[in-house]
Amino acid sequence: MIEFRMPSLGADMDAGTLVEWLKKPGDPVRHGDIMAVVETQKGAIEIEVFDDGVLDQILTKPGEKVPVGHVIATIRGADEPPGEGPLPVGAPPPPPTAASAMPPASKVTPPPPVECPTRQISVTPAARHRAAELGIDLGQIEPGPDGIIGLDQIEAAKRPPPPEPERKPAGISFEEMRKAIAAAMAKSHREIPHYYVSSTIDVSLLMGWLEAENERRSLPARLLYAVPLIRALALALAETPELNGHYIDGRFLPATHVNMGIAVAMRGGGLIAPAIAKVEALTMDAMMDKLRDLVGRVRSGRLRSSELSEGTVTFSNLGEDTADEVLPIIYPPQVAIIGCGKIAKRPWVSEGSLVVRRTLTVSVAGDHRVSDGRRAARFLSRFEQLLKSPEAL
Amino acid sequence: MTDQELAEFVRSTLIKVAPDLESEVFAPDKDFREQFEIDSMDMLNFIVALHQATGIDIPERDYNKLVSLSGCVAYLRAKGYGQ
């Protein structure tokens, strides 16, 4: 029997609330299938399975919040005969109609967990403090599914959930998202000895090439300038293993592919950086399609768990009409993040003359436990060199 | 089409690519990129949707004329759309 666990949802999220199962016991499942939808601090995430087999039992019901790593279902391997494990007679799956209409967890009293060996109630120190602050009687509070009264439970008891502001995808609380971002960034700031290296580069040639290219293309096939930037970054990163991978438990694990997290601002506030896998193998057209799809799913709240946990490096592109440069903070357990300011016309010295050029300031934040500024400087030179021949990208 | 109908058409086209703006009130002359944090991908998708709905070919250099409801209305009028 294979245990299907709540997958990692990235450094800033440690739990998820089950919203809806998309498979029911008895359904065949294949590597890459979407099993369920989980609500997180950054919106709804589709969780995928990485085994083949048959869904045996569902152990977590819609509305339940479980930590990353918790077993939420069991899967029978393709060659395992049915009936080896207990059959799900006593626990029929919830009807899909009820599941899809499920409100966010904070609005429901969590149903008793299916699997919870101990029912000892404990209160986190933060929750105790907050409850005292608000004058809430802890005895009146229903603990979470894990038997713990945490800040979530206190906040839920404090007031009826406010009507959802209209400008956000359903289910996202910006307050919660800010907490998630703060937790990951505080960890990064605390643990990662950052260094910064940046270069301002002339991208007139690149932009000229892109304008001619887009002029030639039909509207739906046009490219954003972020696409050649990502392409060049991917190629340069593939040659710079020290900036691409994870630092876990005191060890650097270089990645075999470049899975680039793309920082996407969420309207109304907040940020998420889902990854596009193996960018080094994508043509610019394929990259544009992936980017369009990714931004669309950030907006509609339909990212996949693998996109949040498998990034090996992050790219933060401020975009048009923003600021000159950005000095970003590494998203753990990654070891580098690359930031680009806006492209603007600026004075530039070319062959001894002062000229006007479109330039871009690119910054790399690296992890000193893994690399030094010199390595990042070489990476930036390579990036600049690649952008000088955009037609070859 | 009246200007108001054209503006409504533009608004509904933008909402098609950014459904989360559904109930927002659009200031006619305000740059909607600023008003609603429309990024370059949303903007490109919006222009693609305008192109697909109207058949007008919109070169990249014209994109900055299409950043407010009134700007879009003026542009579509100039291209003879909705006569």
Residue-level pLDDT at A270:
84
Give chain B positions within 8 Å (CB) of A291. 41
Cα–Cα distance between A176 and A293 in angstroms, integer?
25
- Answer whether B55 touches A (CB < 8 Å): no
Burial class (CB in 10 A: 0-12, 13-18, 19+), A295: buried
Backbone conformation region of residue A174, classed left if phi is above 0, alpha if psi is from -120 to 50, else beta: alpha
Residue-level pLDDT at A159:
57
- Answer whether B49 touches A (CB < 8 Å): no
Nearest to A168 among B20, B51, B60 (CB): B20
| pTM (predicted TM-score) | 0.78
- Least Cα separation, residue B37 to chain A (angstroms): 6
CA distance from start to end of chain B = 6
Taking CA–CA distances from B18, the nearest residue in chain A reads: A299
Scanning the structure block, which residue is given the tokens 């909607």? B32
pLDDT digits (tens, 9 = 90+) for A225-240: 999 999 999 999 999 9
Pinpoint the residues of chain A covered by CATH 2.40.50.100: 2-86
Superfamily of A120-157 according to CATH:
E3-binding domain (4.10.320.10)
Superfamily of B3-18+25-78 according to CATH:
ACP-like (1.10.1200.10)
Nearest to A267 among B23, B37, B58 (CB): B37
On whether the CB atoms of residues A362 and A318 are closer than 8 A, the answer is: no
pLDDT digits (tens, 9 = 90+) for A17-38: 999 999 999 999 999 999 999 9
Burial class (CB in 10 A: 0-12, 13-18, 19+), A79: exposed
- Mean pLDDT (whole number) for A67-78: 91
The bridge status of strand A53-58 relative to strand A313-317 is: unpaired
List of long-range contacts for A248-251, beta carbons under 8 Å, 24+ apart:
A248/A333
Cα–Cα distance between A113 and A105 in angstroms, integer?
14
Superfamily of A192-392 according to CATH:
Chloramphenicol acetyltransferase-like domain (3.30.559.10)
| Lowest model confidence (mean pLDDT) among A1-15, A77-91, A279-293, B1-15 | A77-91
pLDDT digits (tens, 9 = 90+) for A190-227: 999 999 999 999 999 999 999 999 999 999 999 999 99
In three state form, how does the secondary structure of A156-172 look?
HHHCCCCCCCCCCCCCC
Check CB contact under 8 Å for B47 and A219. yes
Q: What is the DSSP letter of A81?
A: P
Interface with B, mutate which of A172, A266, A267, A320 (most B CBs under 10 A): A267
- Mean pLDDT (whole number) for A162-189: 72
- Provide the token pair at B11: 């608004």
- Least Cα separation, residue A283 to chain B (angstroms): 18
CATH for A2-86 (1.10.390.10, 2.40.50.100, 3.40.30.10, 3.20.20.140): 2.40.50.100
pLDDT at A104 over 80: no
On whether the CB atoms of residues A257 and A230 are closer than 8 A, the answer is: no
Residue-level pLDDT at A321:
83
pLDDT digits (tens, 9 = 90+) for A130-175: 676 666 777 777 777 667 777 777 767 765 444 444 444 445 678 8
Instruction: Name, in order, each residue with C-beta under 8 angstroms of A127's C-beta and a sequence gap of 6 or more.
Output: A149, A150, A151, A153, A154
Scanning the structure block, which residue is given the tokens 């589709």? A46
Check CB contact under 8 Å for B40 and A319. yes
Strand partners, A246: A253, A334
Residue-level pLDDT at B62:
94
Q: Report helix, strand or coil for A356.
A: strand
Give chain A positions within 8 Å (CB) of B79. none
Report residue A268's pLDDT band, with 50, 70 and 90 as the boundaries: confident
Residue-level pLDDT at A172:
65
Number of A–B residue contacts, CB under 8 Å? 53
Higher pLDDT, A291 or A154: A291
ipTM of the modeled complex: 0.91
Cα–Cα distance between A326 and A315 in angstroms, integer?
11
Tallying the residues shown for chain A, one arrives at 393
- Mean pLDDT (whole number) for A71-77: 93
Phi and psi at residue B20, to the nearest 5°: -70, -5
The 10 Å Cβ neighbour count of residue A18 is 27
Cα–Cα distance between B32 and B67 in angstroms, integer?
6
- Nearest Cα to Cα of residue A387 among A243, A229, A262, A237: A229
